[in-house]
Amino acid sequence: MQQTLTAKRILLGISGGIAAYKSADLVRRLKERGAEVRVILTDAAQQFITPLTLQAVSGNPVSTSMLDPAAEAAMGHIELAKWADLIVVAPASADVIARLAHGMANDLLTTCVLASAAPVAVAPAMNQQMYNNIATQQNLATLKKHNFHIYGPGAGEQACGDVGYGRMLEPLELVALVEQSIEQSTIKQSVIQTHEQSQVPAGSLAGLRFTITAGPTREALDPVRYLSNHSSGKMGFALAAAAATMGAEVTLISGPVQLATPAGVKRIDVISAQQMHDAALKAAVKSDIFIGCAAVADYRAADVASNKLKKGASNELQLTLIKNPDIIAAVAGLHELRPFTVGFAAETQDVLNYARQKLLKKKLDMICANDVSQPDAGFNSDQNAVTLLWQDGEQTLALQSKTALAASLITLISQHYSPKSTTSEVTK
C-alpha cells in the first residue's frame, strides 16, 4: 500500500447517521496510507458507533464532549483544531451541515471546525429528500463559498428505502478525495513558501493567462488498442494548480488521466495528439504563457482499423506510423499573438544536450530538461527534478515533490516572462 498520507494528521468528525458504521473502515483506510487519525464523535453519532470502536481502529483516544474536564484543562478543543492538517466530517448530517454553514459552535465538532485554520471537507449523508431540500442546498453552497471541500454524495438505494442522492461515499472513494485535498493544500503551502523565499507578492500573476498541457495522448490502432506512454499528468496538473493559486487565469489541456481538476482551473480533455494540437493552438493565441508539459505521442497509425485487429498465423504485426504534429513548435512558431513558450524535454540520456537542442531548434523561450530514467522521478512519480534552460542561462531544481517543484517553476517562468518575448522577433 502506497503511503500517500504519511505523517498527515486527519481529524475525522462523525455526526449522527446510519452511514457512521462506515467510519471505522474509513479510519483504517486512512491509516493504511500513513495518516495519523483522531476522531470526534457527536452525541448523535454515539447512537450508531461507539468511542471504543473508533479508539481501537485509530489508536488514539476519541473525543466526544466540549466539557471534558481532563481535555479542557489543556484547552483540548483548541489543541485538536491546531493539530489537524485536514478536518473531514463523514458522515455529515443535514443538521451538522446547517450548523457549519452558519458558523455555530455548540458542540466539540463545530467548535473545532470554527477554531481551525486547516481545510475542511464534508461528506453529506442523509435521505434524498433532505439532501434535495432547498435549505440543505443553500447550506452546501455556503460551505463551498467558504472553501469547504464537498465529498459527494453518491446516489443509490438508501437505508430508508428511498433511491437518489444522499448516500455517503464509500471509504476508498473518500480516501482518494482526502489525498486530493491534501495535495491541493500542499501546493498552496509550497506557493506561499516560494513567494516568501523569492519575495514575489501573493497574487502576483493576476491578469496573466496560462495554457498548460498535461498527461499522455492515446493514438488509436483499432477500436480496442492504442499507442500511449507512462505519463501520469501529475507534473502538468501541479503546474496548473500552482499558477492558479498565484492568481493566474489557467487553461489546462489534458490527455486521459485519473486526476481531479485543480481549483480555479479551466480544463479541456482530449485524447489524441491531433486533438491536443487543435485545442492548444486555439488556446495559445489567447494566452500570455504557454507550457507544454504533456507527453505527446510522436507517431500515430497511418490507418486506424475500423474493427479489432485479429491475430493471424504470423508472429509479426506490421504497422505503418506517421508523425504527429509538433505542438510546442507550432505554438512557438506563431507570428501573431505568440505566447511566451516553455517546453519540456523528457529524456533518458544526454539530457541537457538534447534539451538545449530542442530549445534552439523549436525556438522556445525556456525548456525544462527532465531525466525520466531516474526511478524516483519523472513518469508516475510524486517527485521530480529538472533543469530549466533558456538562451543564456540555466537553473537546476533538485529532487522534490512535484507540488513544490511546480511552485518554483511557475515563479521562475513568470520572472523571465516579458510581453516583448511574445512578438515575432523570438521566431526569427
- Residues belonging to the active site: 160
Query: Which residues contact residue 87 at a Cβ distance below 8 angstroms, ignoring those fewer than 6 apart?
Result: 10, 11, 13, 112, 113, 116, 118, 119, 120, 121
Query: Which residues contact residue 118 at a Cβ distance below 8 angstroms, ignoring those fewer than 6 apart?
Result: 11, 81, 84, 85, 86, 87
**Which residues are bridge partners to 371 per DSSP?**
347
- 338 contacts 427 by C-beta, under 8 angstroms: yes
| Through-space distance between the first and last CA atoms of the chain, rounded to whole angstroms | 52
In one-letter notation, the amino acid at residue 200 is V
Could you say which DSSP state residue 295 is in? B
Q: What does the block give as the cell for 215? A: 498527461
Cα gap 155→306, rounded to integer Å: 37
Cα gap 410→239, rounded to integer Å: 7
Strand ranges, E, within 128-191: 149-150, 154-157, 163-167
- 96 contacts 89 by C-beta, under 8 angstroms: yes
DSSP labels, 32-43: HTT-EEEEEE-T
301-306: which pairs have CB atoms within 8 A and are 24 or more residues apart?
A: 301/219, 301/220, 301/221, 301/227, 304/220, 304/221, 304/222, 305/221, 305/222, 305/223, 306/222, 306/223
Could you say which DSSP state residue 21 is in? G
Neighbours of 131 (CB within 10 A): 22
Instruction: Specify the DSSP element, H or E, that contains 9.
Output: strand 9-14
